[in-house]
Structure 1
Amino acid sequence: MADDKFRNKQYERHEIVVLNRQAIEVSGVMNVESFDSHEFVLQTNYGLLAIHGENLHIKTLSLETGVVAIEGMVYDFGYFDDGMSPAAKAKGFLGKLFK
């Protein structure tokens, strides 16, 4: 199961709240890996989280509490493995699609 690797570890709560695709708040954030107006990559308790959109900017950042709030138009978000970049994951998907 996918949850098995997290079951034996003790993590703080991790939540994602999206409001009308105009704002997203993430708890359980340990670090902001990278960001620009189109993509944020956050290290969370449960792996790397990529958030894609337009005109994205930080509204609130508190690594002490582990909360990051981002405003802008949110297109999508998802997790990817620590050893795999979002570009590599997308390339793998496209490679499967065009085989």
Structure 2
Amino acid sequence: MEEKQIGKAHKLVINNRKTSMVTGVLDVLSFDLNEILLETEQGMLMVKGSDMHVNRLNLEKGEVDLAGNIDSIAYSDAHVQGKQGERLFSKLFR
């Protein structure tokens, strides 16, 4: 069966809620021990959990490896663009 891609390539793989590999990453916007916010080809990706770490980052290839206790993952179609992006962040981090 042939896979059809809509938009640009992006993949998210989660292993046992402990590690994750993400492709199609444009930028890492913020990260701390409880939350990682990525801009991907398919929109904003927020990964929440505890003891979160960015193990490997290669923006040339658009790849990120994450580790920690993953509790939730949420996508938003919004892309960061100047002042509009600042408003998005203020809403996300209230």
TM-score tier after normalising by the smaller chain length: 0.7 to 0.9
Aligned residues: 83
Quote the Cα distance in structure 2 between the aligned partners of 1:86 and 1:52: 15
Deviation at 1:81, TM superposition (A): 3.7
Quote the Cα distance in structure 1 between the aligned partners of 2:37 and 2:88: 10
Quote the Cα distance in structure 2 between the aligned partners of 1:55 and 1:85: 25
Partner of 1:94: none
> Which residue of 18, 22, 25 corresponds with 1:26?
22
Deviation at 1:87, TM superposition (A): 7.3
Unaligned runs of 5+ in 2: 1-5, 79-83
1:30-87 Cα deviation digits (max 9, x unpaired): 0001110100000000110000010000111000110000100000101124257477
Q: Which amino acid aligns with 1:67?
A: E
Contact 1:18 1:25 in 2 (8 A): yes
Q: Provide the identity percentage.
A: 32
Moved over 3 A (4+): 83-89
Larger Cα-atom Rg: 1
When the two chains are superposed, the root-mean-square deviation of aligned CA atoms in Å is: 2.4
Contact 1:51 1:74 in 2 (8 A): yes
Unaligned runs of 5+ in 1: 1-6, 92-99
The SS at the match of 1:78 is strand
Contact 1:48 1:80 in 2 (8 A): yes
TM-score (norm 1): 0.73
Q: Do the aligned partners of residues 79 and 87 (structure 1) sit closer, same or farther apart at CA in structure 2, a change above 3 Å counting?
A: farther
TM-score (norm 2): 0.76
Equivalences for residues 1-99 of structure 1 within 5 A: 7=6, 10-11=7-8, 13-82=9-78, 85=88, 88=91
